Structure 1
């Protein structure tokens, strides 16, 4: 190992998606002073994928990207009409997404859906 390799900062990558892990490793491989840790090797720095925090008995939330967009705008207090305009979709489609979110989050209304999502770590306010 070269002198540069022995003084390099060792970085561990713990990412569930193997394609993403490979892309990150390829990007970091060209950075002087960094070295990717071998499996099981101690590292000075770790890149870890962030998953939705779960509490015991928490449900799986399989929200579509569009539902996440709508939920984010609901959290901002946007109306269906405002959400439709911002996302370039019809108000009817927004209503469909809101209804789906209420079902998936077991919420009684828009505010309740945002509160449930925030409490469960689906969104961060």
Structure 2
């Protein structure tokens, strides 16, 4: 009887462990604070010539619904959290740019609209991991 109880306990732990691993694998990345616990900041604009309809140099198809950013140094596919105007979104680098002097980031029009970012504004950002 004790052996059956022990076996049932081992099976229950294995099932719980498998479920927890699946849950963690399906969760969103966490926001990684900048050194000192804060955020990085940079100037960003929305729309413009950086994201024309078609494929980016990173291979992403740009449509009116595409939400992503261009950055001149960060490589394709880097995931970021961007915060502006009280909103925080998870996005990723989908192309090089921006092609406007003074901007660190260029947001697709759809992402700019989601954040209500107009013109060139200072945003806060963190890596996602």
Same fold (TM over 0.5): no
TM-score between both structures, scaled by the size of structure 2: 0.28
Structure with bigger strand share is 2
TM-score w.r.t. the length of structure 1 is: 0.28
Query: Which structure exhibits the higher relative contact order, with contacts defined as CA atoms closer than 8 Å and separated by 6 or more residues?
Result: 2
